[in-house]
Amino acid sequence: MDRVIVVGGGLAGVRTVEALRAKGHQGEVILVSAERHRPYDRPPLSKAVLAGDADDTTVDVDWDELRCEMLLGERATALRPGDPSGGTVVTTAGELEFDGLVIATGARPITLPGPGGRRVLRTVDDSRALRARLAPGVRLVIVGAGWIGAEVATTAARKGCEVTVVEAADAPLSGALGPEVGALTARWYDEAGVRLRTGAKVAAVEPGALLLADGERIAADEILVGVGVRPELDWLAGSGVEIDGGVVTDAAFRVTVAGALRSDIVAVGDCAAWWSKRYGRRLLVEHWDTALNAPTVAAAALLGEEGAEYDPVPYFWSEQFGRMVQYAGYHPVAERVLHRGDPDGSTWAVCWLTGDRLDAVLTVDRPRDLVQARRVMSAGTPVDPDLLADPERPVREATRR
């Protein structure tokens, strides 16, 4: 393999470059990124960068040692796969031929209709621009009570802003956790002095206000839209790459083009819908842990290693309203919910179960529960639900041998 093109300058793209070199690839590697900044970490953008505790989250990489050419500020506009292998990536600056391709273009924020100004939070420039506007008395309206919405509300409230969070569902985090569990976090908003409006659908963003579907207008100095993201895949139109929510891949991140599985093209990160044998379905996990760890498998597959497969227990975390919230697993497959501790207390956890199988866990300031539960799920060890419900008992002691 003489030339590998990595399209996407996020963490998944960077880690794939590192993995290719670590596995001995000696050919040319070119990273194409639409952003003009060197690759950086995104999780701090809604936390430390927005709060002003950090300004630079550039990934610590020795690019000279990696021998990787970076084409910053160049956007991929089309893909012309060769037959049966190799092809051409078309960029805003020209065409690049490849015999190995990594699709790592990530995702872009969903926006809302209307003529008014609104912000999203996806890039470091987005974070710095919003940070400059957060000041005492500023009326900030956040659309979406998901992970990003809660994190931004946390910082803005601490800076003295008048924060209103508008959510179309009946509870925060309904899309991520389901309404029953998401509702357990609603009181956090009130305690932080944040006004939470659930069951409120947005009609349009107007100048200086958010218009709701019922005709109500919420005055705002700043409006942030945090209603989710969609994979950045427009540039693949007409390429024959199979797409279903994200780029469809096998368990090794190999991509199907025109009905044929390609060993020379992989997709990884927020844009990849990879096959999980563990859960018997495709997963599209838009979180840092996947972008960090999946590239090792993608690089192995691209280099022809046998047996490359990615099938972990998904994991992510959030810092909101002074709490560390962590989640591991995949709860949509579960039959029931079990509580560990009182959700009105300072620390608690929720477990999703199917029979004696632990499918997922959400912990609030209970890191030990998270670590042990993740190990239990990874090993497939059955649990005793009655023992698991005891918050004083370590998760590892609630297993059935």
Rounded mean pLDDT for each run of 10 residues along the chain, 401 residues in total: 96 98 97 96 95 94 95 98 93 97 97 93 96 97 97 97 98 96 97 98 96 97 96 97 97 97 97 95 94 97 94 95 97 95 95 97 98 97 97 96 73
Is residue 290 assigned to a domain?
yes
Is residue 284 assigned to a domain?
yes
Is residue 308 assigned to a domain?
no
Q: Give the per-residue pLDDT at 84.
A: 87
Q: Give the per-residue pLDDT at 401.
A: 73
Is residue 309 assigned to a domain?
no
If asked whether residues 161 and 23 sit together in one domain, one would say: no
If asked whether residues 90 and 236 sit together in one domain, one would say: yes
In the chain, the amino acid numbered 362 is L
If asked whether residues 129 and 205 sit together in one domain, one would say: yes
Q: Give the per-residue pLDDT at 248.
A: 98
Residue owning tokens 């078309």? 90
Q: Which of 166, 198, 225 is the last residue of a domain?
A: 225
If asked whether residues 94 and 129 sit together in one domain, one would say: no
If asked whether residues 40 and 94 sit together in one domain, one would say: yes
If asked whether residues 287 and 185 sit together in one domain, one would say: no
Is residue 74 assigned to a domain?
yes
Is residue 314 assigned to a domain?
no
Is residue 312 assigned to a domain?
no
The answer to whether the peptide bond before residue 84 is cis (omega within 30 degrees of 0) is yes
pTM, two decimals, is 0.95
Q: Give the per-residue pLDDT at 66.
A: 96
If asked whether residues 115 and 220 sit together in one domain, one would say: yes
If asked whether residues 217 and 237 sit together in one domain, one would say: no
If asked whether residues 244 and 208 sit together in one domain, one would say: no
If asked whether residues 75 and 54 sit together in one domain, one would say: yes
Q: Which of 269, 302, 335 is the last residue of a domain?
A: 302
For the domain that residue 371 is a member of, what is the CATH number?
3.30.390.30
Q: Are 259 and 137 in contact (CB under 8 A)?
A: no
Is residue 315 assigned to a domain?
no
If asked whether residues 246 and 285 sit together in one domain, one would say: yes
Q: Which of 181, 199, 225 is the last residue of a domain?
A: 225
For the domain that residue 262 is a member of, what is the CATH number?
3.50.50.60
Q: Classify each residue of 345-378 as buried b or exposed e, where b means 16 or more C-beta atoms within 10 Å of its C-beta.
A: eebbbbbbbeeebbbbbbbbebeebbebbbebbe
Q: How many domains does the chain have?
A: 3
Domain that holds residue 330: 322-398
If asked whether residues 173 and 237 sit together in one domain, one would say: no
